[in-house]
Amino acid sequence: MAASNSNGAYDFALFEPKRQQEAPRKKDNIIEIPKEKLEQNRKTGAKPFRAVSYFLALTVMLGIVGTYVYGQVQLTELTDNLNAAAKTLSESESVYTQTQMKANSKLSLETVENYATGKLGLQKIAQNQVEPISLSKGDKIQVLESDAGENWLSSIWNAIRHLLS
């Protein structure tokens, strides 16, 4: 072991093995609890409020999840119905277009002309069948109103209307 060190910056005594000294006795801090109280403390009491709160929280969570799943199912069903209706509409529009085209082909001018010449025995108009007609230059109608039925109030009213128009 080293004696005193003349070197003040280093204390090598800290690195030397320590001598075994007798440790001073500590006070006895142990408290004795009777067995009855110890058993009572060990038992965990039933906590009904905590159980009920857990149950309610679980019920609310399950309700939220159930509502979400139900909404998704309804959304899927409505989407399927919408797609089916769109497909039916598309098919109906296609049938309408085909029917319209058939009707237009039956009523075309060429078809009507062929029917008129073939089945009805009609023929196209010729120049000798055309007869010109002349119309009068125009007729003129004039309506005269008589002033015999007017009284002085009507004449004032008519004068005012004439000024405003």
Residue pLDDT, tens place only, 103-116: 888 888 888 888 88
- Asked if the structure places residue 91 within a domain, the reply is yes
Asked if the structure places residue 59 within a domain, the reply is yes
Classify residue 54: in a domain, yes or no. Answer: yes
- Do the domain assignments include residue 55? yes
Q: Is 14 part of any domain?
A: no
Answer yes or no: is 38 within a domain.
no
| C-alpha–C-alpha distance, residues 101 and 95, integer Å | 10
Task: Tokens for 99, please give them.
Answer: 């029917």
Query: Quick check: 89 pLDDT over 90?
Result: yes
In the predicted model, is pLDDT for residue 4 greater than 60? Answer: no
Comparing CA positions, the residue from 137, 161, 141 lying closest to residue 150 is 161
Instruction: Tell me the two tokens of residue 107.
Output: 């009523």
Poorest-pLDDT segment among 53-57, 68-72, 85-89, 115-119: 115-119
Residue 53 lies in a domain: yes
Q: How far apart are CA 144 and CA 157, in angstroms?
A: 19
Within-domain flag for 21: no
Higher model confidence: residue 78 or residue 135? 78
Residue 22 pLDDT > 70: no
Give the whole-angstrom CA distance, residue 110 versus residue 120.
Answer: 15
Pairwise pLDDT comparison (50 vs 17), residue with the higher score: 50
Residue range 144-152: average pLDDT?
A: 68
Q: How many domains does the chain have?
A: 1
Of all residues in the chain, what percent carry a pLDDT higher than 90? 31
Domain hosting 66: range is 47-119
158 Rama class: left (phi>0) / alpha (psi -120 to 50) / beta: alpha
Q: Which CB contacts under 8 angstroms, 24+ apart, belong to 36-45? A: none
